[in-house]
């Protein structure tokens, strides 16, 4: 089985200079765990819900919230995104994708064409869903 049979093609991308506050709202509304960071139609990074958890204060929207907690929302995506990308193409085997996810300790793989265009994303959730034959 190949990545193309399990990948998600409906992806969202953001810009490097988008604010953390904007990304927070997108992730919440879209119920995605990863967003691609694109510059000039080129994939330059990924921002995940875990990146956001590390960046945003746990005191936000609580009585303990401080001005400093709020300023984090004004930071930019490029300040916290992951830049070390591990990608696959649509013909990569599921076994290879699983090995990459485990070996690199990552939760997603961008799927790119030979000319570098983004075609989708494959996550450990996609692979488990396919294995268990659970529809998306």
The domain segmentation of the chain, as residue ranges, is 3-132
pTM for this structure?
Answer: 0.82
Q: Looking at residue 112, what is its pLDDT?
A: 94
Rounded mean pLDDT, 18-36: 90
Rounded mean pLDDT, 40-66: 79
Task: Please tell me which residue, 40 or 93, carries the higher pLDDT value.
Answer: 93
Q: What is the band of 61 on the pLDDT scale with cuts at 50, 70, 90?
A: low
**Which range scores top for mean pLDDT: 21-25, 65-69, 100-104, 132-136?**
100-104
Q: What is the band of 60 on the pLDDT scale with cuts at 50, 70, 90?
A: low
**Position of tokens 């490029």?**
78
CATH no. of 3-132: 3.10.580.10
Instruction: List pLDDT tens digits, range 111-130.
Output: 999 888 899 999 999 999 88
Of 4-8, 59-63, 93-97, the range with the lowest mean pLDDT is 59-63
Q: Looking at residue 41, what is its pLDDT?
A: 82
């Amino acid at each position: 089985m190949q990545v193309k049979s399990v990948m998600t093609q409906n992806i969202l991308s953001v810009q490097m200079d988008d604010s953390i506050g904007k990304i927070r709202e997108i992730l919440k509304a879209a119920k995605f765990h990863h967003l691609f960071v694109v510059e000039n139609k080129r994939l330059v990074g990924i921002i995940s819900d875990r990146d956001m958890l590390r960046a945003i204060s746990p005191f936000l929207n609580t009585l303990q919230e401080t001005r400093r907690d709020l300023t984090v929302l004004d930071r930019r995506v490029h300040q916290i995104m992951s830049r070390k990308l591990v990608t696959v193409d649509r013909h990569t085997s599921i076994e290879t994708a699983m090995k990459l996810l485990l070996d690199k300790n990552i939760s997603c793989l961008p799927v790119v064409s030979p000319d570098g265009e983004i075609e989708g994303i494959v996550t450990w959730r996609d692979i488990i869903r396919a294995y268990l034959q659970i529809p998306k």
